[in-house]
């Protein structure tokens, strides 16, 4: 892990670069697959599943029998853990419901706003090197609370052509209406265009690798919305001598083990802490089952020493981390002034993995600096706001003349006339 001391601000952009390819590097591949699936549907889906996942799947739709087998296979301990997580995630997202907003903007002019669910949503659940059944909870629970009628889930099959039992169990538990054994670019394309088996959806949710992230961005060209560009995982920890080095190292490794293209960063005002964390990293990584992945991710990662909290905060806001852990002598300084972060974890006893699983907050978060403009998944992500207005005779008389003057000033005579006709009838 590279240690950088007091970097000049002009070098921050270079230092904070993510280890990801650009959209241009991947776009041609994504477009070719999208075109094929748009024209050839399930045939193309199965072709790419065999090409990229190395398995031939005859029926890509998960059957009820497969779901029941998965339910029986999942251990009681895991079911209990999932139940705890589900309860907390449900509490947090249900609390995000908002009432109808109603305002009489002028006498006789009533305006209000109501939230309505997105009817058809698609959930992408990575399989790859780790079956992320926790992401099923993070996406399906708010979709269900919002009232989405169709909840379609896509996840890549394993070498046996099956989806991990815990993913199927969680999907069934959380009201997913259809589960498809397909991953990668082909899953995003399938939900974008629809096939004989995969329903077309209005919005696609979920994290993925760089190819899935670009595929989601390409999907927007075809009228499908996405939650956010959520790519390879990343974590930034700001810590000083108030932090415990072993805890900091464990958090850095918890994100590094996600994938070789993950990135973790430690920012500190303490060189002593940096040295201690480095020792802990070297010790703890040896015990990981995903040691090789974590080691490669660490190669993309950095420890950055800065002189004070103000410099640290500016650097962090410039980076815009997906996950942000604060463990310093003055946590409130960072809490009060952070501008760009997906989710914030505070103090020695708030590991990032708590948010990944069971604290209740959502772990589907903007990466690659998109926290500067995107929020993580929340209940509102599964709804849209519709505005309503109802104007009485008195109300139109109150605002009608203003409408006429403004429409005439813009040269829109029909707009003006739609009001003038009504006002004359009211004279």
DSSP string for 222-261: GT-EES----S-EEEEEE-TTS-HHHHHHHHHHHHTT-TT
Joined together, the tokens standing for residue 308 give: 């004070």
d(CA 396, CA 398): 5
Phi then psi dihedrals of residue 103, to 5 deg: -140, 135
Between 291-299 and 245-256, two packed helices, what is the crossing angle to 10 degrees?
Answer: 100
Greatest C-alpha distance within the chain: 86
List residues bridging with 236 in a β-sheet.
Answer: 265, 324
List residues bridging with 121 in a β-sheet.
Answer: 151, 203
d(CA 289, CA 389): 59
Give the residue carrying structure tokens 């379609």. 152
d(CA 303, CA 265): 6
Report, as residue numbers or ranges, the catalytic residues.
Answer: 322-323
Residue pair 339/317 in contact (Cβ under 8 Å)? The answer is: yes
d(CA 205, CA 153): 10
Phi then psi dihedrals of residue 149, to 5 deg: -80, -40
Residue pair 345/324 in contact (Cβ under 8 Å)? The answer is: yes
d(CA 111, CA 113): 7
Give the residue carrying structure tokens 């240690």. 3
């Amino acid at each position: 892990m590279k240690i950088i001391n007091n970097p000049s601000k002009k070098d921050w952009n270079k230092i904070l670069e993510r280890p990801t390819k650009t959209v241009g590097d991947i776009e041609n591949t994504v477009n070719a697959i999208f075109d094929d699936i748009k024209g050839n549907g399930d045939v193309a889906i199965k072709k790419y599943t065999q090409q990229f996942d190395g398995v031939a799947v005859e029926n890509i739709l998960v059957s009820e029998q497969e779901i029941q087998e998965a339910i029986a296979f999942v251990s009681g301990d895991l079911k209990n853990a999932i139940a705890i997580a589900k309860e907390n995630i449900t509490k947090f997202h249900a609390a995000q419901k908002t009432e109808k907003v109603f305002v009489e903007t002028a006498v006789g002019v009533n305006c209000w706003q109501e939230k309505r669910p997105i009817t058809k949503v698609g959930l992408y659940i990575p399989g790859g090197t780790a079956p992320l059944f926790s992401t099923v909870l993070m996406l399906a629970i708010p979709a269900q609370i919002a009232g989405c009628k169709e909840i379609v889930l896509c996840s890549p099959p394993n070498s046996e052509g099956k989806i991990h039992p815990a993913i199927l169990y969680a999907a069934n538990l959380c009201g997913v209406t259809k589960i498809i054994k397909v991953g990668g670019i082909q899953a995003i394309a399938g939900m974008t265009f629809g096939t004989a088996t995969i329903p077309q959806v209005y919005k696609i949710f979920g994290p993925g690798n760089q190819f899935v992230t670009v595929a989601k961005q390409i999907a927007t060209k075809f009228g499908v919305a996405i939650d956010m560009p959520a790519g390879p995982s990343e974590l930034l920890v700001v810590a000083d001598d108030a932090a415990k080095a072993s805890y900091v190292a464990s958090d850095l490794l918890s994100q590094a083990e996600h994938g070789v293209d993950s990135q973790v960063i430690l920012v500190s005002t303490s060189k002593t802490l940096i040295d201690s964390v480095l020792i802990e990293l070297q010790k703890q990584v040896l015990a990981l089952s995903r040691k090789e992945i974590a080691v490669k991710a660490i190669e993309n990662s950095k420890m950055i020493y800065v002189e004070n909290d103000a410099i640290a905060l500016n650097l962090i806001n410039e980076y815009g981390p997906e996950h942000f852990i604060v463990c310093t002598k003055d946590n409130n300084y960072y809490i009060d002034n952070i501008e760009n972060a997906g989710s914030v974890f505070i103090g020695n006893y708030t590991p990032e993995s708590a948010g990944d699983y069971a604290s209740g907050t959502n772990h589907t978060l903007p990466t690659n600096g998109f926290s500067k403009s995107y929020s993580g998944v929340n209940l509102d992500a599964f709804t849209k706001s519709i505005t309503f207005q109802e104007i009485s005779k008195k109300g139109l008389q109150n605002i009608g003349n203003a409408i006429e003057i403004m429409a005439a000033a813009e040269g829109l005579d029909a707009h003006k006339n739609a009001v003038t006709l009504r006002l004359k009838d009211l004279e």
